[in-house]
Chain A
C-alpha cells in the first residue's frame, strides 16, 4: 500500500456504517464511477434492473446509460468488448452474471485478457475488472454455484481476488479498479447478504496480493477465502471450546498469492488445513499445499489436509447441497485429523 493510500484508509476510519457485502460492492462501484470518468459498468441486466443480485442497483439512474449499460446476452462478447475498451484506455468493469457462465468467455480471457500486455511488451495494458458471483450455499439452479477460481488463477497475467466480508469487498474492489492489469473479482453469493459489517464510508483501497489474519491462533492454520471464511470461523469457534487454538488466514487474493503471510502462520502453528468449495482435483488448494510442502515442510507437525468440494458438478439439489460444500463439521474433522496425527 502506498503511503497516500494508507492515509486515505486512516482518514476514513471514524465514519462507518453496517452494511452487507453486496451493498459494499455497490458503494465501491458508485465511488469508482464518481471518482474516475473512465469507469464504465456493463453486463447483462446491470442497468435498470441493477443486476440480479442488485450489486449495480441505482447506478444507471445516477450515472446514466452511457456509463452503466446493458449488453446483449453473450459472455464472450462482453469480455471481448471489455478488452477493446481497455485497449482504448477506458476502465471497463464488466459483470459476468454468474461465475459458472464465464466459460464461453474463457477464450477471450486466456487468449487475450491475460496476455495482451505481454504480447505488446506493455504497449497495451488491459485495466479490466470482471466481477462474477460464485459459489454455493443459497440453493441456486444448475450451473449457478461453480467456483472456477483455479482455472483463472492458472492464467498468466490475471489477478484473482475473492473477498470474504463487506469491508474487504469494498476496498479490494476499489484496488482492483485502480489496478492497471486485469482482475477477476469473485463474489461469494452466500456472503452477499449473510452478514453486515461496519464499512468505512469514504474511498479506501485494500492492496491486492495481501492476505489477512482473520483470527489469531497457535495450534493450526486454516487457510481459506471468500465464502469459506465464515465456515472456518464457525469451525474455529467450536474448536476453541475444545481447547484448540486455530488461526485463520483469509487469502483475499489468490493470484498473486501472499505466500509470506500464509507460510509465517504455518511455520508458527505447524499444521495446515486448506478449505475451498471448488472441486478437489487440481484446485487452488493444491497450489497452496504445494507451496507449504516446498517452503515449510520442516515446520510441519502433520500432513497438510484439504477440505473441498468433490470432483463432480455442483449439485443443485437443495436437500444434499450442503453435503458438497464444506461445512464447519467437515472442517472440524480435518482439524482433528491434523491435531491427532
Chain B
C-alpha cells in the first residue's frame, strides 16, 4: 500500500466487485421478468372482428359483401366507402379509431405515429383489404 502509486485500497476493490455482483443479480430479476402484455392482441381481435363482419355483410349499394365491394373497382370503392365508414364507426368501441386500406385507396382516421396498432388483413379476389385499429 504505497501512496502515490495510484493503487486503490483493497477494500474498495472488493466493494466494487460486490456492487457489480449485486447489481448483476438485480438486473437479472428486472430483465428476466416477462414484459407487461401490450394492448396489441386486443386491438388485433377488434380489427379481426371488423374484417369478419365486413366480409359477411351485404353492401346495400352493390351485390356481394362490403369487403369485396371495397376491393372490386375504383367506382365501387367510392360508392361503398361512406356507408362502410359509418358501419365501422358503429361496430367498434367508442374509444378506438381505425383506418382501412384497400387497393383503390384508404379511408378512416389518419394514423398517429408511435401508437400500438392492431391490424387484420382479408384477401379478396381483387386484392387484400387491411383494417388497422388503435386507441384514439
Is chain B found bound to chain A in the same assembly? no
